[in-house]
Amino acid sequence: MLGGRILYGGDYNPDQWLEHPEVLEQDVRLMKESKVNCVSLGIFAWAALEPEEGVYQIYYLDASGTVLTPNEYRTDTTDTDQLIGELMDQLRTVPQDLDSQSAIPDRLDYRGFHREEMVVYLSFGDSYNSMRDDQEILCRAALARTLTQAPEVNYISILAGEQPILDAKGQPVGMISGSDFVDSISDVNAYEKTMLTLYFTDEKGELLYPETREVVHNVNTSLAQLVIEELISGPETFQLCPTVPADTRLLNVSVNDNVCYVNFDETFLTGSGNLAVADYIPIYSIVNSLAEAAGISRVQFSINGSANVKFRDSISLDTQFERNLDYIGGE
């Protein structure tokens, strides 16, 4: 039994019938008719998974941050739980001689793991949900492909803030295997790098300070959306502090005649009270960042589609905001 379900199945070796697709089709049909819900795959493929005893592949991001690349890791560890710990350490720390980067962002709060039978449960803080969709998929793939090489580990499951992670449709992702991902996790041609200047605040929360970062993103993501998503994810510079609540949901964003229309959920209002910043800081963090990176001249905010709202009971959102350099601090 796993996750409250009775497992029914057995060993299955489709690699032995690759030249006979009609056999594979029949196998799948018969398994569906028999209500099979679990099979053991790759029983005779261990030499491909671990070509040499004690040798594993750690999956990092390449220099562009768009594709996963394996790097060989050798260890004498045979205890499965200890090996998982080692592999997680390797995933989070890239060797200095590699032109690569970790698929697990530094800002993620990794809390540990536990194993139940063939599943490794990885626990992260709420910060896991701050990743962009493309970042999260690459992170998830690196974790799955690396950790499922460990003996007795067929799946991983990821928790963010003690809750199962959700897919783009809001459904639980569930158990993840390394085979869920192909070698080329993302199409390099579908992603590009953009240099952004974003405005965050310091511990006083009275002025804005620029942070420049290079972001890899899907070419279909608008620059305005990218700027706001990066602001929500928070600063990467140690001395700077967030200006937008981390759990804020961007419902939609559009640009028309150089005016950016930004529609948040109510968290932008309720969560901002927990930020020790002046009332105008969240507003002009967004406005100045959009003006700097996307050339926006004015920004119109709304909450759940309504602009008839007061932000922090002091700033009416029923107006269009322009860039304000008075709130930008010096170096």
What are residue 195's DSSP bridge partners?
A: 214
Q: Side chain identity at 136, as an amino acid letter?
A: E
CA distance 39 to 206: 59
Apex 297 CA angle, 292 and 299, nearest 5: 95
Cα separation, 131 vs 137, in Å, equals 9
Judge whether 87 and 55 are in contact, CB under 8 Å: no
Q: What is the pLDDT of residue 184?
A: 42
Distances (CA, A) of 194 to 234, 295, 297, 321: 17, 14, 20, 25
pLDDT given at position 62 = 87
Please tell me the distance from the alpha carbon of residue 226 to that of residue 220, in angstroms, as a whole number: 10
How does residue 224 score in pLDDT terms, banded at 50, 70 and 90? very high
| The pLDDT value given to residue 168 | 63
Stretch (H or E) spanning 81: helix 80-92
Q: What does the pLDDT read at residue 241?
A: 94
**The sheet that has 320-322: what strands, in order across it?**
250-256, 259-264, 298-303, 320-322
**CA nearest to 71, candidates 60, 62, 83:** 60
Please, what is the average pLDDT of the chain? 84
* Per-residue pLDDT, 67: 82
Query: Which tens digit of pLDDT belongs to each residue from 20-63?
Result: 666 767 777 787 777 776 766 655 555 445 556 789 999 999 88
In tens, the pLDDT along 135-160 reads 888 899 899 999 999 998 988 999 99
* Percent residues over pLDDT 90 in the chain: 48
As a whole-number percent, the residues of the chain with pLDDT over 70 amount to 83
Lowest mean pLDDT across 127-131, 144-148, 199-203, 212-216:
212-216
pLDDT tens-digit series, residues 89-128: 999 999 988 899 999 999 999 999 999 888 999 999 999 9
In the 8-state DSSP scheme, what is residue 276? -
Q: What is the DSSP letter of 174?
A: -
Which tokens sit at 123?
A: 């626990």
Tokens encoding 73: 């890791």
- The residue type found at 305 is G
pLDDT value, residue 273: 67
- Six token digits for residue 95: 């060797």
Higher pLDDT, 171 or 191: 171
Has residue 213 got a pLDDT over 70?
A: yes
Q: Is the pLDDT of residue 260 over 90?
A: yes
Q: Give the bridge partners for 61, in sequence order.
A: 68, 101
d(CA 128, CA 295): 30
C-alpha dihedral sign at 110, 111, 112, 116: negative
Alpha carbons 226 and 72: distance in angstroms, whole number: 34
The larger pLDDT score, comparing residue 285 to residue 96, is at: 285
Which residue in the block uniquely carries the two structure tokens 């602001």?
Answer: 231
Category of 117 on φ-ψ map: left (φ > 0), alpha (ψ -120 to 50) or beta:
left
Average the pLDDT over 304-327 and give the result: 93
Which pLDDT score, from 0 to 100, does residue 271 have? 82
Q: Is the pLDDT of residue 19 over 70?
A: no
